[in-house]
Structure 1
């Protein structure tokens, strides 16, 4: 008998930062497992290319910044119009603005906080409101939210205090929302990525830092976008129906501990 718990056939998921890299891989994996996605990204052209690849019946798109609260609400509206509702979210969108602490501008600090922390809150809140409204209207609904964090939020980083602080804050979002919404069958978890081969990690993977980082990864290699997308799909699926408030590290063993 085939186990359908890992299927995403009944999942309609908003994915932020879906235009490239990990976000694109996550959106693609969701559709391959039978789900539907509302893909959000700043780059309208990349979204159009993704929609052409996945099909309009499986992928709706929205170009905009996650730092704008109105975009979060619009994403839910698009999901309702296109698919009849939304019951999943992956808060993946991200930016980096690198500088040592004493040299970091307030603008660089705020940009990263706005995207990673505030943006994640806006989308989490919007989906939560949508699911709670349906529950109070008498529907039996469930939901799964996956917030993307980073090793930087668990063990710190050099030259990115804004990013590390934001990603640590995402862990707090997860724990608070998981406690508040468990009674409504809304699960909230975090996945923390290590170094994945995407444009955002080009500097770390470059000649200057490559060996230093690789020596700390027991698996001895960088992650690939397609393989790190799979644990996200697990948490979205019914196979993770009893998992909430957890932080899963997907980093080749870069962090190991209880």
Structure 2
């Protein structure tokens, strides 16, 4: 029986690849046959994450995802090295929590720049290549996966910057799906609940743990390795007729029509 999910012959770009969900996407992508371009601000973490992987199939890019010139340059280098880019996972993220009335302009900008502007820069750079390839007769297309959050659909106390950015990603996803569907470029979002990563240490801590778990029908957190299976599914041909959608991978933390 043929493998249902395969990324054989594909090259995918993953931002925030140095740890957590991003690193898990990179590892699974490699296991499924892809070449992977890993992007992360922390050069040391990125280097350590990539060291365990086959050198001929990975490319490390250290720098801020909010640097539009870096996005353009890195995608160009990836195309030159691997012959093309077929997938993008906008995963890089930070948090700068504060209640609305106490949030500074800098805290607002920091989160918006990374989550929203950064995702736009990489989407534009990768999308330009995919569209150009399609116009030249290549039917391969491509797949974009934006890592959003339930915070973008229901709000998050103390994180208006994060919730706004994640909600913005949903709009970005739907627009890319509508504009680029004619070129066989698909765009989808994955909305995670609480995943066991450094970013969620506070909400998984003693103060909030019981209340958070009570809101999750499955009664547990997820691991990065568990949730990234959905990401790689959306990157693959197994999801060839899925675009413009927001898929909740959250144990039931947010349930809607």
Question: TM-score, normalised to structure 1's length?
Answer: 0.97
Q: Distance in 1 between matches of 2:74 and 2:218?
A: 37
Offset, 1:72: 1.1
Greater shift, 48-57 or 95-104, is seen at 48-57
Counterpart for residue 97 of structure 1:
96
Offset, 1:63: 0.2
Q: Structure 1: any 5+ residue segments left out of the alignment? A: none
Offset, 1:5: 4.1
Counterpart for residue 200 of structure 2:
201
Offset, 1:132: 1.5
Q: Are the equivalent residues in 1 in contact too, given 2:139–2:184 (CA < 8 A)?
A: no
Runs (4+) of structure 1 exceeding 6 A deviation are none
Counterpart for residue 232 of structure 1:
231
Offset, 1:52: 1.6
Offset, 1:45: 1.4
Offset, 1:191: 0.1
Counterpart for residue 44 of structure 1:
43
Q: Distance in 2 between matches of 1:241 and 1:5?
A: 12
Q: Are the equivalent residues in 2 in contact too, given 1:112–1:163 (CA < 8 A)?
A: yes
Q: Are the equivalent residues in 2 in contact too, given 1:80–1:86 (CA < 8 A)?
A: yes
Q: Are the equivalent residues in 1 in contact too, given 2:17–2:92 (CA < 8 A)?
A: yes
Counterpart for residue 148 of structure 1:
147
Q: Are the equivalent residues in 1 in contact too, given 2:15–2:92 (CA < 8 A)?
A: yes
Q: Distance in 2 between matches of 1:228 and 1:203?
A: 20
Counterpart for residue 186 of structure 1:
185
Asked if 1:74 corresponds to 2:76, the answer is no
The number of residue pairs the alignment matches comes to 257
Asked if 1:136 corresponds to 2:142, the answer is no
Q: Distance in 1 between matches of 2:246 and 2:203?
A: 23
Counterpart for residue 85 of structure 1:
84
Secondary structure of 1:61's counterpart equals strand
Offset, 1:134: 1.7
Offset, 1:80: 1.1
Q: Are the equivalent residues in 2 in contact too, given 1:66–1:119 (CA < 8 A)?
A: yes
Question: TM-score, normalised to structure 2's length?
Answer: 0.98
Q: Are the equivalent residues in 2 in contact too, given 1:60–1:78 (CA < 8 A)?
A: no
Q: Deviations over 1:145-197 (max 9, x none)?
A: 00000010000010000000000000000001100000000000000111100
Greater shift, 71-80 or 23-32, is seen at 71-80
Q: Distance in 1 between matches of 2:153 and 2:185?
A: 24
Q: Distance in 2 between matches of 1:50 and 1:84?
A: 23
Q: Distance in 1 between matches of 2:213 and 2:74?
A: 38
Offset, 1:73: 0.9
Secondary structure of 1:54's counterpart equals coil
Q: Are the equivalent residues in 1 in contact too, given 2:14–2:22 (CA < 8 A)?
A: yes
Secondary structure of 1:57's counterpart equals helix
Counterpart for residue 171 of structure 2:
172
